[in-house]
Structure 1
Amino acid sequence: MSNAKRFPFARRLLPWLVASAMLPSLAQAFTPFVVKDIRVNGIQRVEPGAVFSYLPVRVGEQFTEEQAGEAIQRLYSTGFFSDVAVDVDGDVIVISVKERPTIASVSFNGMREFDDKALNEALRGVGFGPGRVFDQAMLEQAEFQLKQQYLAKGKYGVEVTPIITPLPRNRVGVSFDIFEGDVATISEINFVGNEAFSTGRLTDELELTTSGFMTWYTGTNKYSREKLEGDMERLRSFYLDRGYLEFNMEAPQVTISPDRESIFLTYTVFEGEPYTINEVKLAGDLLGLDEQIQQLITVKPGETFNASKTNETVKAITDYLGTLGYAFANVNPSPVLDRENHQADLTFYVDPGRRVYVRRIQVGGNTRTRDEVVRREMRQQEAAWYDAAQIKSSRDRVDRLGYFNEVDVQTEPVPGSPDQVDVVVNVKEKPTGMINLGVGYGSTEKVILSAGISQDNIFGSGNSLSLQVNTSRTNRALVLAHTDPYWTKDGVSKTTSLYYRRTTPYDSGSGDYEGYDGYYRNTAIGAGMNFGVPISEWDRVFAGFNFERNTLDLYDGSPKAYTDYVDEYGRTTNAMIFNLGWSKDTRDSALAPTEGSYTRLAGDFSTLDLRYYVLSAQQQYFLPLGRNFTLALNGSIDWGNAYGGKSFPVIKNMYAGGIGSVRGYEGASLGPRDERSGTYLGGARRIVGNVQLYLPFPGAARDRTLRWFVFADAGQVRAGSGMTCVAGRDASGMPAVDDPCGWRYSAGIGLSWQSPMGPLELSFGRALNAKRGDDKQAFQFQIGTGF
C-alpha cells in the first residue's frame, strides 16, 4: 500500500509542492506595483468574496512576486480548486481558477450489513458527503472508512469499489459498489502467560468462542471488535474478583487466515499473585455518619480481594448518600499493596460533594400522554432535597403504568447553581390501544377465536376503557369497563363495568352427545363497581360489588350437573357479590419484569339466591440470573365453598388447562367430567404452579419484551363443596378419564412479546403425566394474555 493511500492527507500537500515548483510559469515575473483592481475568472459556485479573503493583498496595496506565490498556495489549500493561476494585466491582478466538482449524491450498492444513514454518518465524520467538494484524497479516505466499518463487524473479505459519475453544473455522483463477503469466524483462541487458571477456564469467561454446536444460533464465533473489547474487560474483572490486583494484559493479537475466513486470537496475560485484605478503612468527609457508612461495607479483613464486592460497597455508600440529597457523591476505593506479603490495605475515600435539591421535574417524549399522568407517579418532589431512592421508586412506578416501552430518568445539574439539579424523565410511548385475539385448536373445539379492543391510556389521561367480545364456541361475552386510576388525588382508583356473558359447556366429546351443540346455556348480565386504595408505595387494598342475574337454559340431554343445579337453585338466580382483597407489586416493569414480586389475596362473598364464597391467593417472583436471563415463578390457589346448606353453584366453577394455567392440555379440560355427557365441569378448588426461564431473543436488544422461555407447569382442579370427582362416561360406558382430579404436569418452550396488538404468547408444551382420556394440545397461541 502506498504512503499516499495510507495517509490520504499526503495528497493535499502535493498541490502546494507543485505550485512552489511551477511558480515561474504560473506567475510571470513583474515589477512590484500598486493594485488598481482584482479580477477572478472560472468561478461557478464559490463566491468572489471567498476568493478575495484568501489573497494576501487588497486593492490599493503594493503587489510583489512573493505575494503571488503565497496567493496560489492559499487558494490551493482551500481544497475548492484543482488549478490556480495568477496573471498581471497592467495594474490589474487576474486570478484564474478551475473549481473542483461537488458531490451531488452518495449511494451504496450491494450493502446489507448497514443502512445508508449509518454509513453516510460515518463518511460525514471524515468530511465526505453530499454538498462537499470532491477530492481524490477524500475519496480514498472515505473508502478506507467504509472498510473500517466492515472490519469492525468481522467482515475481512469486504471489497469497496467507488464509481464516479460526472453530472451537469460541475457535479459528480459517487456510488460505492460493496462486496461484503462473509463474517470471519474464530477458529482458535489461545492464552499465553496464564498459570493460575487453565485456558479452558478463561475461555469460559469470553463472549467470543470458537465454532460449536449452537454458534449458528448465538453467533458468538463471529469476530467483532466490540465483543473483543468486552472480553478484555471480562478477563480483567475475572482476575480482579479473585484478588489479582497486579493483573495486566496486552492487546489481543488478532491474525487472519490467507482466505480471510478464519480468525486466530491470542491473549497475553500477566497474572501476578492474589492479594488478601489486611485492613479496611474509611477516609474523607463522612458527615458524622461513620457508623451508618461502616455498616454498608461488606468487604472484610482476611478475605481475598474482590473487585465486584468492593464496587458493591461503593454503590451502597453512594446510594445511601444519594438518599440524603448528595446527588454527586464520589467514593473511591484505594488499595495499598504490600507486595512482600501479598496483602492490601483498602481505604474508601468518601467525598459527598454539595447537598442538592431538585429545582424541577421535566417530562419528555410523551407525545400523547399528559404530563400529569407521569408526574403523579413521581415520589421525588420539586423543591425538595434530592433522594436517589425516591427517584428509583418514581422510575419503577412510571414503568409499571404499562404505557411506555422505555423509561429513562436522568439528573442534570442546573448551570450556575451548584446546589440544584433537574430531574428529566424521558419516555418512549407504546401503542396502548390494544386488539386482543386468541386462537387455539382442539379435537372437539376446532378453531377457537376471541377478540376485544381496549385503550389503556385513553386520550393520554391515564384512564382505561375496554370493550371485550368473546366469540368462542363455549363462551360469548360482551364486557364494557372503565378505570380511573386516580379517581381521587390520593390515588384511589375506580372501575365501573357492565357485562353480558353466555356460556355453553366445555364439552370433552367423550360422551353420547359428541358434536351436539346447545344442550345447556347460561346467560349472565351484570354490573359492578370496584375501588382500589393505596396504603403504601407498593400495597393496595381493593373492594367492590357486582350485581349479577343468571339464567340457565336446559335442553334434552343437558349435563346432569346442570340439571341438578336447576333443581337446587332454580333456572334464574340473582346474586350480589362483594369482593375484598389486597395486592403488593414490587415488579420493576409491567411489560417485561426482570426482578421483584407480585402478591394478591382476594375473597368473593355472594348473597341473595347464590350463597357461596371464594378465597384466592397468587404469588409471583421474578429473579434476575445475570444480565439477560430471568427466572419467573408463579403460584395460585382458589378455594370455593357454599353456605346455607346448598352445593357450590356449578356455574361458578373454576377451570384449568391451556395458556395461563397448565399448557400442553386443552383449555379448561382438567378436573371432573359430567357423568352423563362428559362435559368439562371444572371445580370449586384449583391449584396452579408455573416455572418459566426467560432467555434473550437474538437480535432483539432494542425490544426487551421479546423473549424466549422454557417452562414447567403443574396444576389440578378438584370437585370441592357438594361435588364428587366424577370421571364421566365414554360411549362404551367406561370412565372417560382416569384420575380427573389428580395433578397434571407439563413442560415446553415458548415465545412472549409485547406486540402492538397486545401481549403475545406462543407455546409448545408436552403433557408429562397424561392419563387415559386426557385431552392434550401441544401448540397454543394467544394474543392478549400474560404470564
Structure 2
Amino acid sequence: MKKSLFLVLLALSGLNAEKIQSINFKGLIHLSPEVAKDIMGLKVGDELTGDATDRAIINLYKQGYMQDIWIDTDNKGNITVNIKEKPSIARLDIKGVVTNDKTAIESLISIKPGNMYDDLIIEKTKERIRQYYESKGYFDTVVDVQKEAVAGNESSLFITMNVNRGENMIINKVNLIGVQKFDYSDMEPLVANKSREFMGWMWGRNDGKVKLQELPNDPARIQDRYFQKGYLDATVSSPYLNSSFDNYTADLTYYIHEGKPYDVAKVGINAPSELELDTDEILKDFKLEPGDRMNSARLRQDMKKLDDLVADKGYAFVKVYPKTQKYENNQTVDIEYEVDSGEQVYIRNVQIAGNDRTVDRVVRRELYLTEGNLYSRTDLQDSKDALKRTSYFDDVDIKEERVDKNTVDLTVEVKEASTGTISGGIGYGSSDGLLLNASLSDTNIFGSGMQGTISIDKSDDELSGQISLTNPRVFDSEYSWGGSIYANDYDWDSYDEKSYGFSTTVGRKLTRNLNASLTYVIEQSDIQGLKDVLKEVGYKEGRNIKSSIIPAISYNSTDDYYLPRRGIIAGTSLEAAGLGGDEEFFKNRTNFNYYLGLREYIDYDLIIRYKSNFGKIWDNGYVPINEKLYLGGIRNLRGYESRSVSPKVLAKDGQWYETGGQIAFNNSVELSIPLIERVKMRGVLFYDYGMIGEKNLNEIKRSSVGAGIEWVTPIGPLQLIFARALDKKHNDETNTFEFTIGRRF
C-alpha cells in the first residue's frame, strides 16, 4: 500500500472510534459521491475505525481510477476523502513507423484515447510492439514513451511512443545435418526461413530475413517433403538458430534422420454399410494405388475425395482417418481409410451476414442449400462459387455451426465488392491517339442484382456510346432479360462507319452452370469512304439494315468473376441475319477458357489459363465489311494493332487494306503470378497464337509473347499489357503497349 495510506492508518490509530457525521470527497471525477460511498462501504453513523478506513481505501483502489487516496478528519466525525485520480490519455501517437505497421500495431494494443494512464499497461504495450517487430524478423526494437500534460489540465496526458525499429536477423546458411537423399535446394521452396541469396534485396530473390512466427512450422514442412517421397521414418529436429547480435546474422540448423522410402502394398476403405459406398470404384479414382511410392500429398487428396463423397450424402461431420501399417522388412505400407460418418445432418437455419447493400434474396437465390435440405458438401461449394461469380462480392465464406447431431446452421458471410463506378479517363495509344472515356456502371444496382451501364468512348478513330440494363434473375426466377441501345462512329483506315442499334436478350438458367439465351438485334450502319480496291472485291457503300437473332448457350463453372482460379468458361452462338433488312449471313462464335490454380499443388498462388475463340461466317446473300472477322489487339492477339490481322488487298497507292476474314481462330496460354497480394496486383506472362483466312485457317498465322500487370482497382480490373509480335510480316501493324479496364482476367 502507498505511503500515504500508512500515514493515514497511523494517524487514525489514536482515534477513539468516533461516529461518522458526514462524508465529503475532494478530487473525485469519474465516480459520483453516492457511488463512491457505496463502493467504500462507509456510512454516516458508522464508527470510524482503522479497519473500516483500510477497507474503504482498498475498495476505491480496486476501481482502477485512483493514483493516491487519503482521508482527513476534523475529530468531530466529519471526514474528507482526498482522491488523486490517474490521468486519462487524451491522445496516443506512435512515431517512427510506416503507415502499414502503425495500423497493425494499433489493432494489437489495448491503449486507446480516453483510457486511464497505467504504467503496467504501458510496459505491456511496449512489449507487444517489440514482439510485433520480432515476428517480422526485426530484433532489438526500442520503444521510448514520452508523457506530456495537456495545457491547463494535468488530468489528461499526450502519450508519444517513439519506436526505433530493430535490425533484421539475416540467415547466412541453412544446415541440414544428416541429409543424404535430398539437399537444401529441395527444401528451399517449402520453408519460410531461407538463407540469403546473392542480391537478395531484388524481387524474386531470397532476402534471408528470419521469420520467427514461421520457424516452428518449418520442420513439419521439411518432414512432409520426406513423407511425399515415401520416407515415413523421417524425423526433423526443432530449428537451432545460432544468432550473432554483433552483425545480426545467423545460421539455421536442422538435424534430420531420413530412413528408407516405402511403397504402397494395399489400399482399402472401411466404411459403415449404410453409406452404400462402391469402394472398388472409389479406389480406382484414388491417386495413391498399390505399387506406388508412398506420398503424403496424394494421401491427403484421396482423404478429401472420400470425405466429400460421404459429406454429399448428408454426413456433414464425417471424419476420415488413414490407418497405416508399415513393414520394415520389405519397406512397404498398407493403407486403410477408416470412415466415421456420424449422423446425417439437415439444414436448420441459413443466415446472411455482411450484405450491407445487397438484399438477402439476391444472396439466397444463388444458394443450393437452404432450410430443411439434407447437407451436401458439393452444394455448399457450388453455392460459394455461384456467389463469387456474380461479381457482387470480394469474398464469400459459408460457416457451419452444429446445433445437435442431426441439424446444422449455416452463416453465409459475404464481403461486398465495389460494384458501382463513376469513372473518367484520359490516355494515349500508339494507334488510337488521344483516348477519352467516361462511364457510369453498376453490376449490382441498389443491391438488387441488376446490371446497368452508361458509357462514352472517344479516340482519334472512334466515338461510341452505350446504355444497357440487365436483370439476371427476373423476379428471382431462372430467367434473365436485358437490353441495350448503342451508337458508334468509326474512322477506319479503309472506310468510315456510323451505326446505331438496339438489342434485347432473354435467357434461362438450365443447370447450375449452363445457360441458354436468345438475342434479337436491329442495327443500321452507314459505310462511306470505302477504298476503291475494296469496292472491287464486292463491298458496298451506303446504309445497311441488319435484323438478326442469336441463339446461344454458355457454361461457367469458375470460382470467381474477375480472377478465376478454377473452372471453365465456354459458349457458342449462331447469329442468323436476314430477318428482313439488307444483310444475310450466318455467324458462329465459340469460346473456351480453362483456369487452373496451382496453390494446392505447389503452395504458391500461380494460375494457368488457356483461352480460345473461334469464328466462322457463311455468306447467304451479303456480308458487309464491318461484319467480317478480324484479329489483333488486347482482346485476342496482343502485339498487333486492333483489327490489323486480316486478309488484305494491295491498292494502287501501295497501301494494304484489310478485307476481313470468314474463318478465324485465336488462343493464348497465360501464367498469372502474385506481385502485391494486399492490393490484388498480379503479373502475367502470355503467348498468343492466331489464324485467319477467307476460306481456311492456314492463310494467315501470327503469334506474340508478352508480360503485363493485372490489378483489381477500386474502379475495376485494370490490365497493362506489353507485347512483342514474333512473326511480323512486311504489311503488319504492331503495337507494344495496351491497357483495358473492366474485363475479367
1:505–1:679 Cα contact (<8 Å) kept: no
Partner of 2:617: 640
Q: Give the letter for the 1:428 counterpart.
A: E
Instruction: Please give the per-residue CA displacement for 1:12-66, whole angstroms capped at 9, x wherever unaligned.
Output: xxx58x799x689745545884764685765423535676667688777777767
Change (3 A) 1:98 1:197: same
1:457–1:464 Cα contact (<8 Å) kept: yes
User: Where in structure 2 are the equivalents of 1:682-697 lying within 5 Å?
Assistant: 682-697=660-675
Matched residues in 2 for 1:578 and 1:592: separation? 31
Change (3 A) 1:490 1:45: closer
1:119 matches 2:105:
yes
Partner of 2:187: 202
Partner of 2:643: 668
Q: Give the letter for the 1:380 counterpart.
A: L
Partner of 1:653: 628
Matched residues in 2 for 1:462 and 1:261: separation? 56
Instruction: Please give the per-residue CA displacement for 1:79-136, whole angstroms capped at 9, x wherever unaligned.
Output: 5444455678477777655443333332112221645453233221xxx443443333
1:381 matches 2:364:
no
User: Where in structure 2 are the equivalents of 1:402-417 lying within 5 Å?
Assistant: 402-414=391-403
Partner of 1:44: 28
- Using the TM superposition, give the Cα deviation of residue 262 of structure 1 relative to its aligned residue in structure 2, in angstroms: 3.1
1:638–1:687 Cα contact (<8 Å) kept: yes
SS of the residue 1:295 aligns to: helix
1:547–1:576 Cα contact (<8 Å) kept: yes
Counterpart pick for 2:213 among 226, 244, 247: 226
SS of the residue 1:353 aligns to: coil
Q: What's the % identity of the aligned pairs?
A: 23
Change (3 A) 1:96 1:305: farther
Q: Which has the higher contact order (CA 8 A, sep 6+)?
A: 1
Instruction: Please give the per-residue CA displacement for 1:240-270, whole angstroms capped at 9, x wherever unaligned.
Output: 3334445444442334433454343333445
Counterpart pick for 2:569 among 598, 612, 618: 598
Q: Give the letter for the 1:134 counterpart.
A: Y
Change (3 A) 1:191 1:79: farther
2:26–2:80 Cα contact (<8 Å) kept: no
1:457–1:463 Cα contact (<8 Å) kept: yes
Matched residues in 2 for 1:25 and 1:458: separation? 73
Counterpart pick for 2:174 among 165, 189, 198: 189
Task: Give aligned pairs, total.
Answer: 728
2:275–2:310 Cα contact (<8 Å) kept: no
Partner of 2:142: 159
Matched residues in 2 for 1:675 and 1:438: separation? 35
Partner of 2:727: 769
Instruction: Please give the per-residue CA displacement for 1:629-651, whole angstroms capped at 9, x wherever unaligned.
Output: 1011111121223135x6x4323
Partner of 2:87: 101
Partner of 2:418: 430
2:561–2:744 Cα contact (<8 Å) kept: no
TM-score scaled by length of structure 1: 0.82
- Using the TM superposition, give the Cα deviation of residue 596 of structure 1 relative to its aligned residue in structure 2, in angstroms: 0.9
SS of the residue 2:724 aligns to: strand
Partner of 1:368: 357
Matched residues in 1 for 2:301 and 2:59: separation? 59
Q: Give the letter for the 1:171 counterpart.
A: S
Counterpart pick for 1:419 among 404, 407, 414: 407
User: Where in structure 2 are the equivalents of 1:328-339 lying within 5 Å?
Assistant: 328-335=317-324
Instruction: Please give the per-residue CA displacement for 1:201-235, whole angstroms capped at 9, x wherever unaligned.
Output: 22342233333346432475233233434534422
Change (3 A) 1:29 1:502: closer
Partner of 2:491: 504
Partner of 1:6: none
Q: Give the letter for the 2:656 counterpart.
A: G
TM-score scaled by length of structure 2: 0.86
Partner of 2:337: 348
Partner of 2:130: 147
Q: Give the letter for the 2:715 counterpart.
A: M
SS of the residue 2:501 aligns to: strand
User: Where in structure 2 are the equivalents of 1:240-255 lying within 5 Å?
Assistant: 240-255=227-242
1:458 matches 2:445:
yes
1:152–1:225 Cα contact (<8 Å) kept: yes
- Using the TM superposition, give the Cα deviation of residue 377 of structure 1 relative to its aligned residue in structure 2, in angstroms: 1.8
- Using the TM superposition, give the Cα deviation of residue 714 of structure 1 relative to its aligned residue in structure 2, in angstroms: 1.4
Counterpart pick for 1:324 among 313, 316, 327: 313
- Using the TM superposition, give the Cα deviation of residue 580 of structure 1 relative to its aligned residue in structure 2, in angstroms: 2.4
Matched residues in 1 for 2:678 and 2:221: separation? 20
Q: Give the letter for the 2:574 counterpart.
A: G
Partner of 1:713: 688
Matched residues in 2 for 1:113 and 1:192: separation? 42
Instruction: Please give the per-residue CA displacement for 1:114-160, whole angstroms capped at 9, x wherever unaligned.
Output: 45453233221xxx443443333332222222211111112225321
Change (3 A) 1:76 1:240: farther
1:399–1:590 Cα contact (<8 Å) kept: yes
User: Where in structure 2 are the equivalents of 1:476-555 lying within 5 Å?
Assistant: 476-487=463-474, 490-506=477-493, 520-554=495-529
Change (3 A) 1:748 1:136: same
SS of the residue 2:274 aligns to: coil
Instruction: Please give the per-residue CA displacement for 1:342-373, whole angstroms capped at 9, x wherever unaligned.
Output: 66554433332332222233323223323222
Change (3 A) 1:103 1:578: closer
SS of the residue 2:650 aligns to: coil
Counterpart pick for 1:678 among 652, 656, 660: 656
- Using the TM superposition, give the Cα deviation of residue 675 of structure 1 relative to its aligned residue in structure 2, in angstroms: 2.2
2:349–2:408 Cα contact (<8 Å) kept: no
1:366–1:429 Cα contact (<8 Å) kept: no
Matched residues in 1 for 2:161 and 2:44: separation? 46
Matched residues in 2 for 1:369 and 1:78: separation? 45
Change (3 A) 1:26 1:131: farther
SS of the residue 2:368 aligns to: coil
Matched residues in 2 for 1:272 and 1:60: separation? 84
Matched residues in 2 for 1:219 and 1:80: separation? 53
- Using the TM superposition, give the Cα deviation of residue 751 of structure 1 relative to its aligned residue in structure 2, in angstroms: 1.0
Change (3 A) 1:137 1:535: closer
2:23–2:44 Cα contact (<8 Å) kept: no
Instruction: Please give the per-residue CA displacement for 1:278-326, whole angstroms capped at 9, x wherever unaligned.
Output: 5555457453435359825654455554332232233223222222222
2:348–2:407 Cα contact (<8 Å) kept: no
Greater shift in the superposed pair: 314-323 or 51-60: 51-60
2:613–2:667 Cα contact (<8 Å) kept: yes
Decide which structure has greater strand share: 2
1:758 matches 2:716:
yes
Counterpart pick for 1:782 among 733, 740, 744: 740
SS of the residue 1:537 aligns to: coil
Q: Give the letter for the 1:142 counterpart.
A: T
Partner of 2:429: 441
Partner of 1:621: 594
Instruction: Please give the per-residue CA displacement for 1:727-751, whole angstroms capped at 9, x wherever unaligned.
Output: xxxxxxxxxxxx9x53121111101
Q: Give the letter for the 2:155 counterpart.
A: N
Change (3 A) 1:671 1:345: closer
Q: Give the letter for the 1:179 counterpart.
A: N
Q: Give the letter for the 1:633 counterpart.
A: Y
Q: Give the letter for the 2:172 counterpart.
A: S
CA RMSD of aligned residues (A): 3.6
Partner of 2:120: 137
Q: Give the letter for the 1:188 counterpart.
A: K
Greater shift in the superposed pair: 248-257 or 25-34: 25-34
Instruction: Please give the per-residue CA displacement for 1:180-203, whole angstroms capped at 9, x wherever unaligned.
Output: 255443332223343443233223
Matched residues in 2 for 1:782 and 1:472: separation? 14
SS of the residue 1:374 aligns to: helix
1:529–1:545 Cα contact (<8 Å) kept: yes
- Using the TM superposition, give the Cα deviation of residue 712 of structure 1 relative to its aligned residue in structure 2, in angstroms: 0.9
Change (3 A) 1:501 1:262: same
Change (3 A) 1:525 1:73: closer
1:434–1:756 Cα contact (<8 Å) kept: no
